[in-house]
Structure 1
Amino acid sequence: MRVLVTGGTGFVGRAVVQELLGRGHTVYAGSRRGDAPPGTHGVKLDVTDAGSVLRAVGEASPEAVIHLVGIIAEQGTQTFTRVHLEGTRHVLAATPRQARYLHMSALGAREDSASGYSRSKAQAERLVRESGLSWTIFQPSLIFGVGDDFFGRVLRELVSTAPVVPMIGDGSFPFRPVSVQDVARAFAGALEQPETVGQTYTLTGPEEFTFRQLLEMELAALGRRKPIVPVPLALMNLMVPAMQVLPKPPITRDQYAMLKEGNTAPNEPARSTFGLPMLRLEDHLPGIVAGARGAGRAAGAG
C-alpha cells in the first residue's frame, strides 16, 4: 500500500514509518524540509499551507494517509488552531476520497477542556468524523521512547535543575504512558483491519502511575536522590502565569492545565485489536534518559 505519513520525520513518525516499512508498505514521509528517512520517499509538506498539502498528496498518490503532525506548545504563528485544526482541515480536503485515513489525536481531547491543546485536538476529531473518509482515530496518552519530549526533556529538566524537585500539588494526578512502539503498531495494524474504520481507540500502556511516581522513576533512572517538595496548587496558579514572561518557561499554562487533568484510560480494546506488546515504562526509562544525555552532549559539542 502507498502510505503518506504527515510528520514522518518526527518522534512518532519515525516509529510509524519503520513499522510500515517492516510490513512491506511504500512510504512517503511528509515533512517541512522534505527529508527522506531510510527506505522512504521524502516529500515537502507543511500542513498549515493548503497548497503544500495538495502538492504532497499529488506526488504520493496515496492509498492511505496517516496524519501525525502536532505541537505541544504554541510558538509564534504555530498555534494549536493553525496546526491541529486548520492543518487537519487541509489534510482531509486533500486526501483521496477512496483512501484510508488514520488520525493522531490525544487522550483527553475535549472541546470543553481547560487546555487549548486538548480543545484543538477535539475540534480536529470532529472534522475527521464529518469528513466522509474511511477514518480511524487514535488517542494516545504520554508516549515514551528514546527521543521523546516528556520523559527525555521536560521531566528530566524538572528533576535535574534545582536542589529539590518541585511537585504540582500532591502529585496524585494519574497517567498511563504508552510506548512509541505500541503506538506505531496500532497505526500500521489499522491499515490491515477494515473493521477499525469509523472507530476511535485510546492508546495507553500496561500500568498507571501518579505524577509523583513518575518523578521518582525519573530520578531513579538518572541515578539521583533529591527531596520531592509539593507545591500547593494555589501557589502554582500564581507561579505559572508569572513564568510566561521567561523566554522559555519551564511549564506553559497549557501544559499545567493538562498535568492537573491527568491522562489515563483502559488499554482495551486497542491492546487486543492490534496485538500490542504493551512495553513497560520502567524497562525503557533508563535508555530514554541515557539517550537524552547523549543528545545533550552532542549538541554542546557543536
Structure 2
Amino acid sequence: MSARRTVLLTGASGVVGRSILRENGADGPRIISAVHSAPIPEAAESAVSLDLTAERFGLDADSHAALVASVDTVIHSAGLTEWGLPAERYGPINVEGTRRVIEFAEQAGAAVHFMGTAFVAALAEDAPVPLGEENVCKNYIRSKHRAEQLLRDSGLPHTVFRPTNLIGDSTTGWTSQGQIVQLMSDWLGRGRAPFVPVHPGIRMDFVPQDLLAKAVLRAIELGDEQGEFWVTYGEEAMDVETCLQLLVKHAAGRGRSLNLPPLVNPDELAPDAIAKTPPLTRSYLSVLRDVSEVTRCSGGVLPSSMAELRDRYALPHVDGTAAYLAGLEYAAEHLG
C-alpha cells in the first residue's frame, strides 16, 4: 500500500468530482479540489481556484510552483459533458485542458487518473458499423478520445476510467445534479414519449456514480498508475424492456399509470418521424436514437471491466435495476 497521496482533483464541483469527495475516507488521499466558481460542500480539506484553459491554470508563478510541489497525483475529471455542441466548443476544456493537466503532471512528477467515456467504443476501428456524422454525441466522444490519445502520447503514468452514463448513489440514489438519465427517465415516466427509438438488442447501461468513485480511489490507494477500465455493466446491463418496466413501477409508486410507448427501430423510422414532433420531444427522441446508435456501434453491449474492478478494487456487486430505481426515487424527491 502506498503512502498517503496528495491529489489534485479537477472538476471537483461536477457529478464525478463530488462523488469522489464523498467517498474519500479519513484514511484516503488528501484532495485539493480545483474549483472554478461555485463552492463545493464536500471539499473539506482544501480548494484552489483554477482555470484549466489558461496558462499555469490561471495562477501566478509562485502559486503554480507551490501547487506543483505539493501534488503527486491528479484525478482529471473536468470537462464539458453536454452533448450536441459544435466541435470547437469541446476543444478548450476537453482537449487543451487535458494538455495543460499533462504539462502540470509532468512538472509535478504526478500520475494522472483520467475520467473518459465508455462511448469511445463507438469510434473503435473494428466497430461493427460507423457512427453517423450527425450523431449528437459524436463531437463530445471525439474530444474525449483525443484527450486519451494525448495522455498515451505523453508517456506519463496514467489510468483511464471509461464510465457509461452515470446514475445516483447505488444505495441512496443521491446525486449532486440531474443528468441525462434522470431527465430522460422523468420525461419517459410521465408518458411524454410517442415512441422509443432503439435498435434491437441494445442494453441500457447505467452505472452508479459511487462505483466509479470507489474504483478511482482504490487505484490511488494501491498505487496503480496504468490501466484502462470500462466502468459499465456490459452483459449485465438491463435491456430496454426491463428499463421501461421499472419506469412503470416507479410511476405506479407515485400514483401514476404509465402506458408503455412502442419500441421502434430507428432505421425503420420515416424520415420526418422525429422532426415533426414538438421541440422538447424532438430533442429527447433524437438523444434516445443517437445514444442507441452509439451502443449499436459498440456491438450492442458496451465493453466492460466490471469483473476486474470487483476483483482488484473490491467493488461491491450492485444490482443495476435496484440502483436505477433508487436514482428515480431520489430524483423525484430532490431534483424536481
Query: What's the TM-score bracket when you normalise by the shorter of the two chains?
Result: 0.7 to 0.9
Quote the Cα distance in structure 1 between the aligned partners of 2:286 and 2:58.
31
State the shift of 1:77 in Å.
Answer: 9.3
Q: Deviations over 1:28-52 (max 9, x none)?
A: 1112215243413222233333443
Preserved contact between residue 2 and residue 25 of structure 1 (Cα < 8 Å): yes
State the shift of 1:270 in Å.
Answer: 1.9
Q: 1:6 aligns with which of 3, 7, 10?
A: 10
Q: 2:330 aligns with which of 274, 277, 291?
A: 291
Preserved contact between residue 9 and residue 31 of structure 2 (Cα < 8 Å): yes
Which structure: larger Rg? 2
Q: 2:19 aligns with which of 15, 36, 55?
A: 15
Q: Structure 1 21/8 Cα, relative in aligned 2: closer, same or farther at 3 Å?
A: farther
Structure 1 unaligned residues grouped into runs of 5+: 298-302
Task: Tell me the residue number matched to 2:71.
Answer: 62
Quote the Cα distance in structure 1 between the aligned partners of 2:317 and 2:115.
19
SS of the aligned residue for 1:228 comes to coil
Identity score, percent? 20
Aligned 1:48-197 pairs, distance under 5 A: 48-52=53-57, 58=65, 60=67, 61-70=70-79, 71-74=81-84, 79-95=89-105, 96-110=107-121, 111=123, 113-114=131-132, 115-145=138-168, 146-147=174-175, 148-162=178-192, 166-169=195-198, 172-194=201-223, 196-197=224-225
Q: Size of the alignment, in residue pairs?
A: 294
Aligned 1:30-45 pairs, distance under 5 A: 30-33=34-37, 35-38=39-42, 39-45=44-50
Q: Structure 1 209/247 Cα, relative in aligned 2: closer, same or farther at 3 Å?
A: closer
Q: Deviations over 1:186-212 (max 9, x none)?
A: 100111223x32211111238222233
State the shift of 1:257 in Å.
Answer: 2.6
Q: Deviations over 1:100-141 (max 9, x none)?
A: 210001113154644222222111110111122211111112
State the shift of 1:59 in Å.
Answer: 5.7
Task: Tell me the residue number matched to 2:317.
Answer: 278
* Higher RCO by CA contacts (8 Å cutoff, separation 6 or greater): 2
Residue identity matched to 2:76: H
Preserved contact between residue 162 and residue 228 of structure 2 (Cα < 8 Å): yes
Preserved contact between residue 57 and residue 94 of structure 1 (Cα < 8 Å): no
SS of the aligned residue for 1:251 comes to helix
Q: Please give the TM-score of this superposition, normalised by the length of structure 1.
A: 0.83
Preserved contact between residue 8 and residue 30 of structure 1 (Cα < 8 Å): yes
Preserved contact between residue 248 and residue 260 of structure 2 (Cα < 8 Å): no
State the shift of 1:254 in Å.
Answer: 6.6
Quote the Cα distance in structure 2 between the aligned partners of 1:51 and 1:240.
46
Q: Structure 1 79/239 Cα, relative in aligned 2: closer, same or farther at 3 Å?
A: farther
